[in-house]
């Protein structure tokens, strides 16, 4: 319960504290569906956010914990949400959507599932559905600790649609709420570069690299964006990736 109520924007340290508490809960009760589900969610989520030094190990453990939880309690919204997070972390957004939809079927006000579906819709090509889902999450939980991430995704939709001014507005809102989120700095780097503000772009790219330790912002090749749908990949290529090149990110 202490970990569940840890309502703070996520950073490397906050994830570590929550994971530690869920680990302690699981050690006390190895069969706890709640502990399995929440621990799997935190492990997968910090890998998604690039705030762990062991992303592959975190996702592998999260996958096993989520499998155990869903098998033991197929009607648990927490177990299905954990499985959705694992699938997202494995770059399988199309398969993640049914898991989040199951969560919504059990709890129509599950704001994180709504926001996660929005993320999946972006990466599978249903871009026009993304912002309405995020706006719904914001209406339901206007003071949510994850709201910075939702602002970040709204900004990303604007960026890939080449609405650079609107993208920067949302990214700066996201950064003000959670400056420890590495992705917002990379998006701002691309956006500033596309706007011609090269010094600000370089500074944001440097901050993204400092915050993220898995190396994804060291080169274009390590970003992993090529796993997207072809249409979405093309949009990212002509906006986000083009901006990162202008900000100074090398190909390899």
Would you state the structure tokens that stand for residue 145, as one six-digit string? 């600790």
Residues 17-34 have a mean pLDDT of 96
Residue 102 has pLDDT above 90, yes or no: yes
Nearest of 136, 170, 149 to residue 85 by alpha carbon: 149
Q: Which residue has the higher pLDDT, 250 or 11?
A: 250
> Beta-strand (E) ranges in the chain?
none
Nearest of 26, 251, 197 to residue 41 by alpha carbon: 26
Confidence of residue 11 (pLDDT cuts 50, 70, 90): confident
| CB 87 within 8 Å of CB 97 | no
Nearest of 58, 48, 54 to residue 10 by alpha carbon: 48
Residues 178-206 have a mean pLDDT of 96
Q: What are 203-213's pLDDT values in tens digits?
A: 999 999 999 88
Asked if 1-106 and 143-252 have one fold, the answer is: yes
Quick check: helix, strand or coil at residue 135? helix
| CB 171 within 8 Å of CB 193 | no
| CB 55 within 8 Å of CB 30 | no
Would you state the structure tokens that stand for residue 155, as one six-digit string? 């900004």
Q: CA–CA separation, 252 vs 37, rounded Å?
A: 37
Rounded to the nearest 10 degrees, the angle between the axes of helix 12-28 and helix 33-48 is: 160
Residues 148-171 have a mean pLDDT of 97
Q: CA–CA separation, 175 vs 184, rounded Å?
A: 6
Q: Which residues contact 173 (CB under 8 A, 6 or more apart)?
A: 148, 151, 155
Query: Where in the chain are the domains?
Result: 1-106, 143-252
Most confident of 5-14, 157-166, 218-227: 157-166
CATH number of this structure's domain 143-252: 1.25.40.10
The topology (CATH level 3) of 1-106 is 1.25.40
């Amino acid at each position: 319960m202490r970990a569940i109520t840890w309502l703070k924007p996520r950073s490397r340290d906050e994830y570590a504290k929550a994971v530690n508490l869920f680990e302690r809960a699981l050690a006390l009760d190895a069969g706890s569906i709640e502990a399995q589900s929440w621990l799997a969610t935190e492990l997968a989520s910090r890998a998604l956010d690039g705030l762990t030094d062991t992303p592959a190990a975190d996702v592998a453990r999260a996958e096993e914990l989520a499998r155990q939880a869903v098998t033991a309690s197929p009607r648990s919204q927490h177990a299905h949400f954990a499985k959705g997070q694992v699938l997202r972390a494995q770059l399988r957004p199309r398969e993640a959507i049914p898991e989040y939809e199951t969560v919504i079927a059990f709890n129509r006000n599950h704001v994180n599932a709504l926001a996660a579906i929005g993320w999946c819709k972006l990466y599978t090509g249903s871009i026009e559905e993304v912002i309405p889902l995020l706006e719904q999450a914001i209406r339901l939980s206007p003071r949510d600790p994850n709201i910075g991430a939702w602002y970040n995704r709204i900004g990303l939709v604007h960026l890939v649609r080449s609405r650079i001014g609107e993208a920067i507005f949302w990214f700066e809102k996201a950064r003000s709420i959670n400056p420890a989120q590495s992705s917002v700095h990379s998006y701002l780097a691309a956006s500033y570069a596309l706007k011609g503000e090269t010094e600000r772009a370089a500074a944001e790219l440097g901050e993204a690299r400092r915050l993220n330790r898995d190396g994804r912002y060291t080169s274009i090749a390590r970003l992993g964006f090529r796993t997207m749908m072809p249409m979405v990949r093309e949009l990212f290529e002509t906006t986000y990736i083009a901006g990162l090149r202008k900000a100074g990110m090398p190909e390899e």
